[in-house]
Structure 1
Amino acid sequence: MTAPLGLEEAQARLLALAPQLSSERIATEAALGRVLAEDVIALRTQPPADLSAMDGYALSGDAQAWRLVGESRAGLPYSGVLTDGECVRISTGAMVPPGADRVLLQEDARDDNGAITAAPPPPPGRHIRPRGLDFHAEDVLLTRGTRITAARLALALAAGHGTLAVTRRARVVVIDSGDELSADPAACLPHQIPASNGAMIAAMLAPLDCEVNRIGPVPDTQAALADALARAEDADIVITSGGASVGDHDLIKPALTEWGAEIAFWKIAIKPGKPLLVATRGDCVILGLPGNPVSSFVTAFLFALPLLRAAAGEHDPFARTQKLRTRDDLPAVGPRREFLRAVEADGEVCLAGSQDSSALTALAAADCLIDRPAHSPALPAGEAVRVFNLRNG
């Protein structure tokens, strides 16, 4: 029997299989959450001219007093050229007229019948945003593989881009399987539990802006699984939950084989989440997650999210980590790397509750995962541990 893979090796092998999605051009204002398929190169300079950073007076040269000769407003610049000793009233964001070399704050100015004085006068360059302060035309502002946030969307617009080339949305099918699952959470018989994994996984994928089609809950029969997989013919990625273990009714492997998929690898040396399965069918990647809800969540976090990011072409598909001190004593770890559900508070972490792989209460309370290497000794409170932040995953 092949030994379970380590986390990083399994992640690397999975991402090497990631489908290569084509690109499309869409309106920049519709690009939030999408991943750039091309660099964004500035088509204009920002600001396009010297602008005032404050409300006040644009002054020309050193003087005891400056003669007020006009006004420059945002969107309505002064049309003339200032000479030494002249000034114009100016508003924030307005163009600094030719000849002006500084801006006097409104609250520091005194207007004596059109003669503007200040004590002391501002030095040259004060309160002026020079042309190109932010960027110049032909600067590379965003690189291919960058996911568009609200601020990046604004930057692309400011750079003159009304459209952007982005990776098309991945088509993802999520299949929830298990005889014990009830589609109606309000109508469970004693031998049933509400089907929650499919909805949970779809919610985890939502920030990645992919097209998700949920199927299930699907009974634990070969025929039902075959029917569900047949409905995933056009998927780029198929994610199953349940049926990937070794029990008599864990039928994902044979169902995938019957569908024409090839198993790439199976079983990962992590806890929770050992029975993770990866397969391919043409360009489609199939990710078989365990059925226990915590195991399903953790493996989706560690594998499904990076896979979707890699398929979209993101630079760094993995979640960031940090070192924090633990408030709790942590037990020794066995042969599998463990991910403990935890809560961060005041720069420290504490366990969120029960670490059983079915305990949704602790998972719902958690905002991070403590990463405990295999064979780690018991760790006393106060020691630093590596933590995955679930809020940036």
Structure 2
Amino acid sequence: MIPVDEALARILSHFQPVAGELVGVGEAEDRVLAADVAARVTQPPTAVSAMDGWAVRGSDLTTLPITLARIGEAPAGRPYTGTVAPGQALRLFTGSVIPDGADTVVLQEDCDDLGDGVRVREGTPGRWVRAAGLDFTAGTVGLTAGRRLTVRDVALAAAMNHPFLTVRRRPRVAILATGDEVVMPGEPLGPGQIVSSNGLALAALVRRQGGIPVNLGIAPDDADTLGILARGAAGCDLLVTTGGASVGEHDLIRTVLGAQGLELDFWKIAMRPGKPLMFGRLGATPLLGLPGNPVSSLVCAALFLVPALRRLQGLDPAEPPRARAVLGAPLPANDRRQDYLRATLRPSDGSLPIATTFGQQDSSMLSRLAAADCLIVRPPHATAAEAGEPVDIVPLDGI
């Protein structure tokens, strides 16, 4: 058995970011940027009004109130072509271009419109003018590669005059569940059969992490069928299997796919749950073999599949990092395997939240995983810990 950190490093060494593709800026939310985005325009391109009001010369406001001659109006998008001379005012609106001669906007609520003139009661020279380039200037890099784009990022890219963006294509992940004993939800259950959750959960995780799941279905414990279904992963960036990776006579992943050219990198990790995890390459496609127990499968997916998907998209695989909490109840000493304990989190009076494990941690109990907020990490040979002691946790946000 190899340590968890070594297993992760060996897995990630097989992945590089996928190629980029052009998408419309309106379709780029939640995609990972593959190239820096520099502004193609200056925003605003010229000085504009920040409020509805009147464009005036600041030098006319030395004594207030003052009555100025009205010379017209300039709605946003229709700049005034003349010049504001001393003693004059131009009616304008939010976003209107500041005309030549003016350097100040006085608010409409601080003025009295007299028809052919305006009486200014309050105003400060230089106020309510947005300078050219206040937001950004042409050539300024506003978004850098390796960023998962938010709605706000899309708004900025559009404002910088980019109709298209180069983003990483979505990684394609083939998912193959195995076992005679599992059937899809809603199908009739035969003697000794259970409902399969792994394939659907992994597909949801892949989508949540920005990938495209390719569901290959459920392979029975039959070598020919397993081999045929596994070939459906050709052209994908990763093949994920669940079940069939242990040591039983019907655990066929290594033997069947080995005959098809599977090059095994490692098998078995010193962790709980998830010991029988395997990794290798089936031709050009990396293969991540997850355990069949549903909790083991999802815990291993959180620890190994998510970082691989992040690496494929050009993101830091170490993000989000582990967090810290304090124990809500004592824990016994640990054995030689790194333990990941399902736990709840609640706020405390201190700086760290309180993590409390569920009493039973059986790897088949999905209800406990669904109710958990985090996994408490217990290193190999960790000594007994008392309530209140700090521990590392893996938050389950998004899992």
- Structures share a fold, TM > 0.5? yes
Identity %: 41
Secondary structure (helix, strand or coil) at the match of 2:71 reads: strand
Secondary structure (helix, strand or coil) at the match of 1:257 reads: helix
Task: Provide the C-alpha distance between the structure 2 equivalents of 1:331 and 1:102, rounded to a whole number of angstroms.
Answer: 71
Aligned mate of 1:387, from 388, 393, 397: 393
Are 1:334 and 2:335 counterparts? yes
Structure 2 vs 1, CA of residues 132 and 8 (structure 1 numbering), >3 Å: closer, same or farther? farther
Task: Provide the C-alpha distance between the structure 2 equivalents of 1:278 and 1:384, rounded to a whole number of angstroms.
Answer: 32
Give the deviation of 1:196 after TM superposition.
0.6
Question: Counterpart of 1:82 in structure 2: which amino acid?
Answer: V
Are 1:131 and 2:135 counterparts? no
Task: Provide the C-alpha distance between the structure 2 equivalents of 1:269 and 1:213, rounded to a whole number of angstroms.
Answer: 30
Give the deviation of 1:66 after TM superposition.
5.5
Give the deviation of 1:85 after TM superposition.
4.2
Give the deviation of 1:303 after TM superposition.
1.0
Cα-to-partner distance string for 1:289-327 (whole Å, 9 max, x where unaligned): 111111111111111111112112224553333323343
Give yes or no for contact 1:367–1:389 (8 Å, CA) kept in 2: yes
Are 1:212 and 2:213 counterparts? yes
Aligned residue in 2 for 1:80: 82
Structure 2 vs 1, CA of residues 295 and 70 (structure 1 numbering), >3 Å: closer, same or farther? farther
Aligned residue in 1 for 2:47: 50
Are 1:350 and 2:355 counterparts? yes
Aligned residue in 1 for 2:119: 116
Secondary structure (helix, strand or coil) at the match of 1:231 reads: helix
Mean Cα deviation higher: 339-348 or 36-45: 339-348
Mean Cα deviation higher: 221-230 or 127-136: 127-136
Give yes or no for contact 2:208–2:398 (8 Å, CA) kept in 1: no
Aligned residue in 1 for 2:11: 14
Task: Provide the C-alpha distance between the structure 2 equivalents of 1:80 and 1:331, rounded to a whole number of angstroms.
Answer: 82
C-alpha RMSD of the superposition: 2.4
Aligned residues: 388
> TM-score when scaled to structure 2?
0.88
Structure 2 vs 1, CA of residues 319 and 116 (structure 1 numbering), >3 Å: closer, same or farther? same
> TM-score when scaled to structure 1?
0.89
Aligned residue in 2 for 1:28: 25
Aligned mate of 2:73, from 54, 71, 74: 71
Structure 2 vs 1, CA of residues 61 and 200 (structure 1 numbering), >3 Å: closer, same or farther? same
Task: Provide the C-alpha distance between the structure 2 equivalents of 1:371 and 1:107, rounded to a whole number of angstroms.
Answer: 61
Give yes or no for contact 1:240–1:289 (8 Å, CA) kept in 2: yes
Give the deviation of 1:245 after TM superposition.
1.8
Give the deviation of 1:357 after TM superposition.
1.3
Gaps of 5+ in 2: none
Give yes or no for contact 1:52–1:103 (8 Å, CA) kept in 2: yes
Question: Counterpart of 1:338 in structure 2: which amino acid?
Answer: D
Give the deviation of 1:81 after TM superposition.
2.8
Gaps of 5+ in 1: none
Mean Cα deviation higher: 201-210 or 78-87: 78-87
Structure 2 vs 1, CA of residues 261 and 100 (structure 1 numbering), >3 Å: closer, same or farther? farther
In the TM superposition, what are the counterparts of 1:90-105 in structure 2 within 5 Å? 90-105=92-107
Cα-to-partner distance string for 1:87-144 (whole Å, 9 max, x where unaligned): 333333333333333333444444455323234x3352x3333222222211122222
Aligned residue in 2 for 1:373: 379
